[in-house]
Amino acid sequence: MKNVKAPDKPKTVRHLGEVDITKLREMVSKLEEQVWEEENEDKPNKFGALNKTRHIVFRFIVNSNTNRFYYNRPVWEEWEEVLQPVLDQATQAYNYSRGAYPRIMLAKLPAGTLIHKHIDGSNAARLSHKIHVPLQTNEECYFFVNEEPFRMLEGQAYEVNNLAMHWAENRGKTDRIHLIFEYFSKD
């Protein structure tokens, strides 16, 4: 495999713009807790730093060495029609002619919990833009990069520097739900 150049990462967080999350948020709001629990139990991303965060994983990488090989999980087919427009709109600023999404998931950070400080250490994480689109949040949710706090707003897309020390805290009384995905150019 030829040497793959990593994309430029923001120093902390880069705002990518507004995204229409109406249909996706509606679909997420209808998810029963049992679905969250079942999907979370079967998720491929079981990392200690994620703490009590629950995930519904739509797509994931085959191994942590590269982002070039990934697979759709069974739940992707049901959600593709609603997810794809959000993904495409959030990544429009990159202007890639052949962009790919190797990891796509919903992440629910319960009220009063946190994601521990960490750096996404795999080679695959180095090779993609890491993007968050908040679907549900509150005024007491913070995302930190290198000790700098950020409030991410619903319906906005943000690239985060996943190679810097980062973590999240939900100090509020409601769950925080983000669409989180990675994006890279196949060219």
What pLDDT digit, counting tens, does each position of 17-74 carry? 999 999 999 999 999 999 999 998 888 776 554 668 899 999 999 998 999 999 999 9
**178, pLDDT greater than 70:** yes
What is the total count of domains within the chain? 1
Task: Report the percentage of the chain scoring pLDDT > 90.
Answer: 80
102, two tokens = 């190797």
Position 25: which residue type?
R
Mean of the per-residue pLDDT values of the chain:
92
> Is residue 16 one of the residues assigned to a domain?
no
> Is residue 6 one of the residues assigned to a domain?
no
- Enter the pTM of the model: 0.93
Domain coverage including residue 134 = 31-185
> Is residue 48 one of the residues assigned to a domain?
yes
**103, pLDDT greater than 70:** yes
> Is residue 137 one of the residues assigned to a domain?
yes
> Is residue 143 one of the residues assigned to a domain?
yes
Quick count: other Cβ atoms within 10 Å of Cβ 151? Answer: 12
**1, pLDDT greater than 60:** no
> Is residue 7 one of the residues assigned to a domain?
no
Give me the residue label for tokens 């994006």. Answer: 183
Rounded to whole angstroms, how far apart are CA atoms 180 and 182? 7
> Is residue 12 one of the residues assigned to a domain?
no
Report the CATH number at residue 64.
2.60.120.330
